[in-house]
Structure 1
Amino acid sequence: MQTYQYIQELVGPYILGVLISLGIGLIIGLEREYDRLKEKGFAGIRTFPIVAILGFSVGNLTDFFSNWFVIIGFGSFILFLAFQHFVKKKEECGQGLTTNLALIATFVLGVMVSVDYYKEAVATAVIIVTLLSLKTRFRSVISNITSEELFAFIKFSIIALLILPFLPNKTFDSEGLLNPFEIGSIIVIVSFLNFIGYFLVKFVGSKRGIILTAILGGLISSTAVAWNYASRSKESPALSKKYSAGIIVASAIMFPRLAFLSYIFNNAILKELAIPFSLLTMICIIATLLLMRKDDNKPDTDIKLGNPLNVLNAISFGAVYVIILFAVFYSNQFFGENGLFYSALIAGLADTDAITISMAKFSLEGEKLKLASSVIIAATISNMLVKLLITLLKGSKTAGKLVAYAFACVIVLGVAYIFISRG
Structure 2
Amino acid sequence: MVDPATDPLYRVVVRLGIAFGIGALIGFEREQAESAGSIAGSRTFPLFAIVGALVQAFFPSMLPVVLAALALALTVAYGARAWFERDVGLTTLTAALLTVVLGAMTMHSDRGVVVAVVVGGVVTVLLSAKGAIHEFAEGIDERERRASVKFILVVLVVYPLLPDRELDALLGLNPRFVWLMVVFVTALSFAGYVLSRVIGTERGIAVTGALGGFVSSTATTVSMAERTSEAASLSRICAFSTVIASAVMFPRALVEVAVVNRSLLPSVALPLGAMTVVGAVAAAALYWRATAESDLDADVENPFQLRPALFFGLVFAAVLLISETAHARLGASGVYATAFVSGLADVDAITLTLSRLAAEGEVSRPVATTGIVVGAIANTATKAGLAWLIGTRRHARLVTAALAAVSVVGLAVAVAV
Instruction: Please give the range of the TM-score, normalised by the shorter of the 2 chains.
Output: 0.7 to 0.9
Taking structure 1 as reference, are residues 366 and 99 closer, same or farther at Cα in structure 2, changes over 3 Å only?
same
TM-aligned CA deviation for residue 290 of structure 1: 0.9
Kindly indicate whether residue 282 of structure 2 is the aligned counterpart of residue 287 of structure 1. Answer: yes
Partner residue, 2:377: 381
Change (3 A) 1:94 1:163: same
Indicate whether 1:269 and 2:264 are aligned: yes
1:96 matched to 2:93: no
> Displacement, 1:379?
1.8
Provide the rounded CA distance (Å) in 1 between the counterparts of 2:265 and 2:80.
Answer: 62
Compared CA separation, residues 76 and 400, structure 1 to 2 (3 A): closer
Out of 295, 312, 323, the position equivalent to 1:328 is: 323
For residue 400 of structure 1, the aligned residue among 392, 396, 407 is 396
Tell me, in whole angstroms, the C-alpha distance in 2 between the residues paired with 1:224 and 1:141: 21
Bigger Rg, structure 1 or 2: 1
1:253 maps onto 2:251 in alignment: no
Answering whether residue 349 of structure 2 is matched by residue 354 of structure 1, we say: yes
TM-score by length of 2: 0.83
Asked whether the equivalents of residues 132 and 198 of structure 2 are also in contact (C-alpha less than 8 Å), the reply is no
- Quick one: structure 1 residues 3 and 143, their matched pair in 2 at CA, closer, same or farther if it must change by over 3 Å? farther
Shift of 1:184: 0.7
Q: 1:20 to 1:382 in 2, by over 3 A?
A: closer
- How far apart, CA to CA, are the structure 2 residues paired with 1:171 and 1:217? 36
Aligned pair in 2 of structure 1 residues 357, 52: CA closer, same or farther (>3 Å)? closer
Post-superposition Cα deviations, 1:290-329, rounded to whole Å, max 9, x if no partner, equal 1111547343412212342221111111111122222212
1:343 equivalent among 315, 338, 345: 338
Contact 1:40 1:91 in 2 (8 A): no
Q: Distance in 1 between matches of 2:55 and 2:415?
A: 70
Q: Are the structure 2 counterparts of residues 401 and 175 from structure 1 closer, same or farther at C-alpha, using a change threshold of 3 Å? A: same
TM-score between both structures, scaled by the size of structure 1: 0.82
SS class of match (2:203) = coil
- Give distance in 1, aligned partners of 2:200 and 2:312: 26
Cα gap change, 1:86 to 1:264, in 2 (>3 Å): closer
Q: Distance in 2 between matches of 1:148 and 1:377?
A: 37
Aligned pair partner of 2:38 in 38, 41, 54: 41
Change in Cα spacing, 1:296 to 1:181, as seen in structure 2 (3 Å) is same
Q: Percent identity?
A: 30
Amino acid at match of 2:38: G
2:310 aligned residue (290, 299, 315): 315
Distance 2:415 2:26 in 1: 59
Counterpart position of 2:177: 182
1:209 lines up with 2:204 in the alignment: yes
CA distance 1:190–1:49, shift in 2 (3 Å): closer
Counterpart-to-counterpart distance in 2, 1:166 and 1:304 = 35
Q: Alignment partner of 1:303: what SS?
A: coil
Residues 38-83 of structure 1: CA deviation (Å, up to 9, x unaligned): 67734444544555566667677759xxx56x66555444444444
Aligned residue-pair number? 412
Q: Structure 2: any 5+ residue segments left out of the alignment?
A: none
Residue 306 (structure 1) aligns with: 301
Tell me the SS of whatever aligns to 1:299: coil
1:132 aligned residue: 127
